[in-house]
Amino acid sequence: MNLSRRNFFVSAVGLVTFGLLGSIANAEQRRRARPGAGGETGPLAAPLVDPKTDPTAQAMHYSENHATVKKDLQIAKQGVPFKDQHCKNCGFYKEVGQKDGKTVGTCTIFAGKLVESNSWCTSWNKKA
């Protein structure tokens, strides 16, 4: 077999590149599959927003229950009555599945955390 110096270097660069791409793909797969406290993987591994301890939730008057929202906050927004405003029909919400028997999703307001689909906060914005 006649292996020139040029062919050797081209082969070596190809192998190194292929190895690096494989490592990057494996790292991304491991990142996405990190288990949460409940054994979930991916987006469901994120914790639920805790309105009692989360400062953003407190600032946004986040509530898991419409009945607990202060009366002065229960106003129509963008032509939608308060009773019909839920995270599930908010423009910031994206459903990801079930957690602890509740439908949950991600919210751009609460980065890295999950919100319940029937929750509400003052940032509610009509989904387009």
In the block, which residue shows the tokens 């929202």? Answer: 69
Q: Are residues 58 and 93 in the same domain?
A: yes
Token representation of residue 36: 């949460």
Per-residue pLDDT, 8: 73
Q: Are residues 57 and 116 in the same domain?
A: yes
Per-residue pLDDT, 10: 72
pTM value is 0.67
Look at residue 37 and tell me if it is in a domain.
no
By residue range, what is the domain housing residue 53? 43-128
Look at residue 9 and tell me if it is in a domain.
yes
Look at residue 38 and tell me if it is in a domain.
no
Per-residue pLDDT, 3: 67
Q: Are residues 63 and 101 in the same domain?
A: yes
- One digit per residue, the tens of pLDDT, for the chain of length 128 reads 566 777 777 776 666 676 666 667 666 666 655 554 455 667 899 999 999 999 999 999 999 988 889 999 999 999 999 999 999 999 999 999 999 899 999 999 999 999 999 999 999 999 98
Per-residue pLDDT, 28: 63
Token representation of residue 31: 């990142």
Q: Are residues 50 and 27 in the same domain?
A: no
Considering its fold, how many domains does the chain have in total?
2
Per-residue pLDDT, 67: 83
